[in-house]
Amino acid sequence: MKNLSNNHATGCFAHSSAFRYNLRSWGFVPFYVLPLAFFLLSCKDQVQLIQEPAVAISLADEDLGAPRTQLFKQQISRQVENTDRLRLWLGHTGWQPTGFHVDKNSIITVHVRKISGTDLPKLMLGTPASGGREYDTFFQLKEGTNVINTETDLEIFYFGGRGPEKWGGNVYIDYTSDSPGAHGESEITFESGFKKIPYYIQGETSIADYQRMLDVFGDSVHQATLVSDRVMLNFTIANARQYRSSNIDSLLLICDQVTASVEAISGLDRSSPEHYPRTARLLITDKPDGVPTSGFSISFPQISMNEILTPSLLRRSWGLYHEIGHAYQQAWTWFAVSEVTVNIFSRAAQRAMGFSIGRTENSWNIVDAYLAKPDAERNFNTDEPLSYDRLEMFHQLWLAYGDGFYQNLHKKCRVDKPILNNDDEKMAYFMTTACDIAGEDLTDFFRKWGLPASQATYAAIANKNLPQPSRDYSTLRD
Ligand SMILES: [Zn+2]
């Protein structure tokens, strides 16, 4: 199948109390490597709290929710944008929401009218969630009328080897191209077999209408969907009703603000074509149980939903910062720090949301004890004793050089487009590029932290003939 590529999903250990600021509670977790397909869609850049119209127009029940006929525009593929341009390590779906649900074992009818371009969209069935629904199910649409038996006609791409499609679920459109010049447009009519879901598009739907959808559309659809510029936020109907008094504009605004803050530390400043933000919305969904994950989608278990669906808690949600952060880690992320460098983004989000740094009281003591060990006993890539406090090495570089250090590091990676085949090459890229960005020879700093790089890497740094740092950055504290 075209556009398939390897992907990673990363699961993050958490439980309800762990959501609040406890960095160490986002413990080390199994790391999954899962194959799947990725595509992207477009979004706008501005983040605004949308006000309800002063004069609300009340729709008839049958007019609530998504329109039966919708226009979809082709977007750049995940491979070209996430991997080739942004040099990201993970890749999130770029599916486009529809506002519809299909029951299991349904006969559905879809009409497609291609307006321009050469490609046609795929219809995707079900919301993927690592640890929940670990596969995608799709149908390649053709022009004209498509009659689809969801029991027999869907192609199934397994994420985790589960059984055939039998759940039904939300409907999405996957409509992408590897060619930046492809700007196809198709009009899709969801003719029969589709059920409307409670569906809120920020800036288009009124909150009053969304509230009525929660009552009118009944229990036969699985999820409600909120759509902002940057995210699709899915949750079960039961959660939608339980949290119906939550300010959904605030929830979406917070998701957009956190995403924008993570993009800011990524140096996605629009200064050149490489440095434009991703054009896809992040798909955030709930799932019955398991741990929060980031991969094809961002998923949170039911036990976390009070935090996700309560604005005052979501604003300070380390879990949200962290899982969105995973979506922006770059290709130089070597395995040992996959759950560490993500928190460069989490802390940037935390600062942007107006909160002070989250770390355990003992973090600097653990760091001090580690740095005091003999050279032979320090290995940065082993989990103990530093574990998540390895973040403080990356944090010291931020203390030394500010936001610009990470902004320029991420930008340089997008410009360099390095081919990094293994962990040694990834670590070497980070270390040598860090020296380039700093304009200083960080050999002593990296040796103090025990980075187990090859002699060739340290020689490459020495050959840059950069000045020594003005002070020992390993002593920086805040
Ligand atoms: Zn994680």
Q: Compute, in angstroms, the gap from residue 452 CA to the centroid of ligand 1.
A: 23
- Class of domain 335-475 (CATH, top level): mainly alpha
Query: What is the spatial distance between Cα 72 and Cα 56, in angstroms, rounded to a whole number?
Result: 27
Q: Compute, in angstroms, the gap from residue 134 CA to the centroid of ligand 1.
A: 18
pLDDT digit string (tens) for 116-127? 999 999 999 988
Q: Compute, in angstroms, the gap from residue 340 CA to the centroid of ligand 1.
A: 8
Task: Sort strands 122-125 and 168-174 into parallel, antiparallel or unpaired.
Answer: antiparallel
Take residue 40 and report the two structure tokens written for it: 């992207």
Residue 36 confidence (pLDDT): 30
pTM: 0.88
Ion ligand 1 contact residues with beta carbon within 5 A: 12, 339
The number of residues in the chain equals 478
The percentage of the chain sitting over the pLDDT mark of 90, rounded to a whole number, equals 71
Residue extents of the structural domains in the chain: 61-327, 335-475
Q: Compute, in angstroms, the gap from residue 461 CA to the centroid of ligand 1.
A: 30
Q: Compute, in angstroms, the gap from residue 338 CA to the centroid of ligand 1.
A: 8
Q: Compute, in angstroms, the gap from residue 326 CA to the centroid of ligand 1.
A: 7
Q: Are 226 and 197 in contact (CB under 8 A)?
A: no
Residue 78 confidence (pLDDT): 87
Q: Compute, in angstroms, the gap from residue 367 CA to the centroid of ligand 1.
A: 21
Q: How confident is the model at residue 11 (pLDDT cuts 50, 70, 90)?
A: low
Q: Compute, in angstroms, the gap from residue 355 CA to the centroid of ligand 1.
A: 20
Q: Compute, in angstroms, the gap from residue 61 CA to the centroid of ligand 1.
A: 42
SS3 284: strand
Residue 415 confidence (pLDDT): 98
Strand locations in 159-302, DSSP E?
Answer: 168-174, 176-177, 185-192, 195-196, 199-201, 223-227, 231-236, 282-287, 293-294, 298-301
My answer on whether omega of the bond before 469 falls inside 30° of 0, hence cis, is no
* 41 vs 203 pLDDT, higher one: 203
pLDDT digit string (tens) for 241-295? 999 999 999 999 999 999 999 999 999 999 999 999 998 899 999 998 899 999 8
Residue 10 confidence (pLDDT): 62
Residue 400 confidence (pLDDT): 98
SS3 328: coil
- Mean local confidence (pLDDT), 337-343: 96
Q: Is the pLDDT of residue 213 over 50?
A: yes
pLDDT digit string (tens) for 384-408? 888 999 999 999 999 999 999 999 9
Q: Domain 61-327 classified CATH 1.20.1050.10? A: no
Kindly provide the b/e burial profile for residues 6-28, where b requires at least 16 CB atoms within 10 angstroms of the residue's own CB. ebbbbbbebeeebbebbbebbbe
Q: Is the pLDDT of residue 17 over 80?
A: no
Matching fold, domains 61-327 and 335-475: no
pLDDT digit string (tens) for 50-88? 444 444 556 788 889 999 999 999 999 988 999 999 999
